[in-house]
């Protein structure tokens, strides 16, 4: 089982994330059909979908899947959300750019956190050195 993270920060346990004939299919038992429809029908929420490990670490992403096709409800309780990339070339380009911007923002946040952690470590080392003098 993996997880996905939508633009609004929602994290959903997914039993499957597959690209089939150009459609992104996400299977889950987490939410109701209504809740899933609300999350995935908002194209701003699906233009950048992070793929996460069970531990929550990023292991990939999908961009541009902003056309909500619907949800299939299986007898076993698994709901499969189907998303497509828009056919409109301009909309597709905008979605891809938005996805790239979201990816860059996520990378910037991670870099900023690393810099902050390094600053803290350097201050601690400096204080330790001063205390030992």
SS3 67: strand
Considering the chain, what percentage of its residues have pLDDT values greater than 70?
95
Number of domains in the chain: 1
Q: What is the mean pLDDT of residues 84-100?
A: 79
Question: Is a pLDDT exceeding 70 seen at residue 1?
Answer: no
Euclidean distance between CA atoms 71 and 83, whole angstroms: 9
Task: Give the structural domain span for 90.
Answer: 2-131
pLDDT tens track for 30-61: 899 999 999 999 988 999 999 999 888 899 99
SS3 call for 43: helix
pLDDT at 90 (0 to 100): 77
């Amino acid at each position: 089982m993996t997880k996905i993270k939508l633009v609004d920060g929602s994290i959903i346990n997914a039993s499957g994330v597959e690209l089939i004939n150009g459609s992104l299919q996400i299977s889950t038992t987490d939410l109701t059909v209504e809740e899933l429809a609300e999350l995935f029908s908002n194209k701003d929420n699906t233009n950048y979908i992070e793929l996460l490990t069970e531990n929550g670490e990023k292991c990939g992403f999908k961009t541009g899947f902003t056309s909500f096709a619907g949800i299939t409800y299986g007898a076993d309780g698994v709901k499969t959300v189907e998303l497509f990339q828009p056919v409109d070339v301009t909309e597709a380009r905008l979605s891809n750019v938005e996805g790239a911007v979201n990816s860059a923002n996520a990378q910037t946040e991670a870099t900023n956190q690393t810099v902050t952690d390094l600053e803290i470590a350097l201050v601690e080392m400096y204080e330790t050195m001063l205390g030992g003098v």
